[in-house]
A = this chain, B = another copy of it.
Amino acid sequence: MNIELICSGSELLTGKLNTHAGFIGGKLNDLGLNLSLVTTVADRKKEFSAVLEDAVRRSSVIIVTGGLGPTFDDITVETVSEILNVDTYKDESVQKSIVQYFEKRGISNPAQNNERQAQILKGAKVLENRFGTAPGQMLHFQYNVDENKKVRKTIFLLPGPPKEMCPMFEENVIPFMKSYQAKIKKTLVLHICGMAESLVDEKIKPTIDYLANNDDIEFAILAHKYLIDVKVSVSGENELTIDDTIKNINQEFINVLGDNIYGYNSDTLEGVVQKMLIEKKQTVSVAESCTGGMLAAKLTDTAGSSNCFKMSVVTYSNESKMQLLDVKNETLEKFGAVSVETAKEMLDGIINLSGADFAVSITGIAGPGGGTKDKPVGLVYIGTSFKGKNEVNKFLFLGTRQDIRERAVNVALDCLRRLILKQQL
């Protein structure tokens, strides 16, 4: 059975990030199913029709995302109607819920063209959109392979915005797909930091090579901004055997990677740090310069952060470093704002201000300007502290301003994680 994804939207070919392929592919993969093809196509009728015709011919299940909105370039429903030769009608209850959606936001007279979103294919099931106005649709249809052979196929129309598409996919497409599930498939993702990708690869290679001839076991490795993921997928008929295989592989990886593994599956580095702090009933405060609040934003990303996050300050200027954190003027003059000494005094300052158990300070040169021979762009000092014991480490990150800031934040989180781990020994 072929499952095909068509992402419609000219913007997806001209600069806009497409998050659908990854999300949908991942969810199907977890069921032991695979996307056979992902095509991204402009929301112009000619191009979209051509792709849709091919997809209807070659695949049993077609998932279309995008083009269900209220504007002139939202052409999915009318194109599917033409290609499948199925009429549309205006669904009054859909129209009503769109009006209600706007009323909830205090807009009593939504623009007329929102009516466009109430056009439904005859025979389709309307899929509720809990996070937006455009409903989704699921239609089973007959496809004539030739004069004598007809097959039943299914098309899903889902909205383009991820926050609308994702829940609709989980609530409607997943249950439908489960009926196609062949083997059981389970996946474990290990999250690793503090090692280069090639070193991780070298460490896990013996295990991978040992299992190379087993088609039921797949590995993937992926690095992004200091963080590395290793994904293990195991298929089979027996859930207990699968669990056992995954457990054994995980143990092999723990043996070679140790506490460089910071989490599994949906764990995030910031979430892991937060959980450790809350479990140990301890608090953290942060003083940032070049990362400008990004570390604090990460540490408050997960609900519940108020249980461990005390406060943070962004002291971008020398003036604010002195005023808020009592960094000495002579320290800034003698060693500069980007120095071990300043990072240390920032740590002292934020601890005095907040009384938190743990503290982190970051000062560096994110660029693109401001670098010198002695202090190049990418130079970052990261300080961590636990109950008065301070440590500052020096890093040199490559890449753009954004890369440098993101890496600094991830490394700071990892430094904090390792410091918390130490307290558990």
Residues of A within 8 A of B (CB): 10-19, 21-23, 25-26, 29, 34-35, 37-42, 69-73, 105, 107, 110-114, 131, 161, 163, 196-199, 201-202, 205, 208, 218-224, 229, 231, 286, 288, 290-297, 299-301, 303-306, 309-317, 319-320, 323-324, 353-354, 366-370, 396, 398-403
Contacts and interface: CB of A to CB of B under 8 A. Distances in A.
- Give the top 4 A-B pairs by smallest Cβ distance, nearest first: A292-B300, A293-B296, A293-B293, A13-B25
Q: Which of A111, A198, A305 has the most CB of B within 10 A?
A: A198
B14 A26 contact: yes
B310 A16 contact: no
A17 B13 contact: no
A113 to B, nearest CB: 6
Contact of A314 (B12, B19, B202, B311): B311
A293 B312 contact: yes
Contacts of A323: 311, 353
Contact of A39 (B37, B286, B399): B37
A77 to B, nearest CB: 16
How many copies make up the complex?
A: 2
A396 B10 CA distance: 31
A326 to B, nearest CB: 14
Given A15-B26, A163-B399, A197-B69, A306 B317 contact: yes
Contacts of A73: 219-221
Contact residues of A: prevailing secondary structure: mixed
A220 B293 contact: no
A314 B312 contact: yes
Given A12-B21, A305-B292, A317 B310 contact: yes
A304 B369 CA distance: 9
Contact of A18 (B21, B114, B202, B219): B21
A292 B310 CA distance: 11
A315 B310 CA distance: 7
Nearest to A285: B320
Contacts of A110: 196, 198
Contacts of A290: 300
B72 A208 contact: yes
In this complex, the member of A69, A72, A208, A309 whose beta carbon has the largest number of chain B beta carbons within 10 angstroms is A72
B231 A198 contact: no
Contacts of A314: 286, 293, 296, 300, 309, 311-314
Given A316-B305, A316-B310, A320-B311, A13 B39 contact: no
B17 A220 contact: no
Contacts of A10: 218, 220
Nearest to A198: B111
Contact of A113 (B29, B114, B201): B201
Contacts of A400: 163
Contacts of A396: 105
B353 A11 contact: no
A214 B354 CA distance: 63
A34 B13 contact: yes
A16 B222 contact: yes
Contact of A13 (B11, B22, B288): B22
Given A201-B111, A219-B72, A324-B353, A22 B26 contact: no
Contact of A222 (B11, B39, B292, B398): B11
Given A21-B13, A35-B13, A38-B13, A292 B301 contact: yes
